[in-house]
Amino acid sequence: MSQFRFSRRPDIGGRVRVSFEFFPPKTDEMEERLWQTVTRLAPLGPKFVSVTYGAGGSTRERTARTVKRILTEASIPAAAHLTCVGATRDEVDAVIRQYQGIGIGRFVALRGDPATGVGSVYRPHPGGYQNGADLVAGLKSIADFDISVAAYPEKHPQSPDFATDIEMLKRKVDNGATRAITQFFFDNDLYERYVERVRRAGIYIPIVPGIQPVHSFRQVANFSAKAGTHVPAWLAERFEGLDNDPQTHALVASAVAAEQVMDLMERGVEEFHFYTMNRADLAFAICHMIGLRAHEAPQTIEIPGSAAA
Ligand code: FAD
């Protein structure tokens, strides 16, 4: 595919659901900015939001605090990401129980990457969960949590082939995951082909596309190279010469992401996960363009895995 084949807004805007991903803030100033972002996006009624978990548990307390604050002050269903890299089962289980104790019942269960980076060889901790699927089983053995996992439309860079990669996704589902969120991608044909493969493998959970609004093309291109995400030539051309022109960059980014989402909607996709980088503007603009409107009514939220659920 050279470009998204978007022509008109399909008539499914009313059924579209979104979720937003944040990272835990490091400073008071970053927390303030995140809170402005949450406050701006919350009225769009996201299905849930999620908060990432730093390599090796480095954000354990901050992730918990952020999820807790979103649950209590914004009343949005909120999931904590959790990784198992570099930790024993007991250590990970202690984090799960700590999170459960403060009312967290939704998780995005991940293997994580070695501290040396995405491209480094992964070696499971000898006494730890071995991979994402194993972590899902561990979570489920503690409580009936709502569990999302990662999926890779262009396959995980360390997977030898798609069959191995999809086999891992199948194990995650067999162990209790009910939603997969994809790595970001820019070629919708690759996503569509991946979903076909997944369905042929007998996996029927939602494969929610992860949408990365391009806040900085340079950063996204760098990260894409590590993550194994193909950056089409037409995308690079759209951002050419805009490194020092933030206003035009943002306008182009908003148009590109909206086109991608609308094209996916034309292909029947109704749920999207936005990697927000803790910034509201692009995500909000894209949601507006696909027909989502702010509402004021707070939601009543249910916590999976709690005694009351
Ligand atoms: P797994 O599914 O366990 O493994 C990834 C792939 O590696 C598998 O599909 C499989 O093909 C292959 N593989 C694994 N084990 C073996 C084996 N023993 N033999 C052969 N092949 C194997 N990282 C963070 O640190 N914090 C986060 O909060 C975070 N959030 C994320 C959210 C999303 C939606 C996504 C897509 C990624 C996120 N990541 C995060 C990155 C993630 O940790 C990395 O992509 C990591 O490299 C793989 O994690 P996983 O759970 O997909 O791993």
Domain ranges of the chain: 17-289
> If you count DSSP H runs as helices and E runs as strands, how many of each does the chain have, helices first?
10, 8
Of 108, 110, 172, the one to substitute when testing ligand 1's pocket (max ligand atoms within 8 A of C-beta) is 110
Buried b (16+ CB within 10 A) or exposed e, 265-277: bbbebebbbbbbb
Separation of CA 245 and ligand 1 centre (Å)? 35
* Structure token digits, residue 115: 């501290």
Ligand 1 contact via 120 beta carbon (within 6 Å)? no
Separation of CA 91 and ligand 1 centre (Å)? 19
- With 0-12 / 13-18 / 19 or more C-beta atoms within 10 angstroms meaning exposed / middle / buried, residue 9 is middle
Residue pLDDT, tens place only, 18-71: 999 999 999 999 999 999 999 999 999 999 999 999 977 889 999 999 999 999
What is the CATH code of the structural domain delimited by 17-289?
3.20.20.220
Ligand 1 contact via 153 beta carbon (within 6 Å)? no
Please answer whether residues 150 and 183 qualify as being in contact, where contact means their C-beta atoms are separated by less than 8 angstroms: yes
* Plot region of 305 (φ>0 → left; ψ -120 to 50 → alpha; else → beta): left
Annotated catalytic residue 21: yes
Mean pLDDT in residue range 59-86: 96
- Which of 10-14, 68-72, 216-220 has the lowest average pLDDT? 10-14
Ligand 1 contact via 21 beta carbon (within 6 Å)? no
Ligand 1, atom 13, lies closest to the CA of: 159
Ligand 1 contact via 83 beta carbon (within 6 Å)? yes
Atom of ligand 1 at shortest range from CA of 168: 9
Task: From 228, 229, 251, select the one nearest 239 (Cα to Cα).
Answer: 251
Ligand 1 contact via 52 beta carbon (within 6 Å)? yes
pLDDT band for position 114 (cuts 50, 70, 90): confident
Mean pLDDT in residue range 259-266: 97
Ligand 1, atom 45, lies closest to the CA of: 112
What percent of the chain has pLDDT above 70?
92
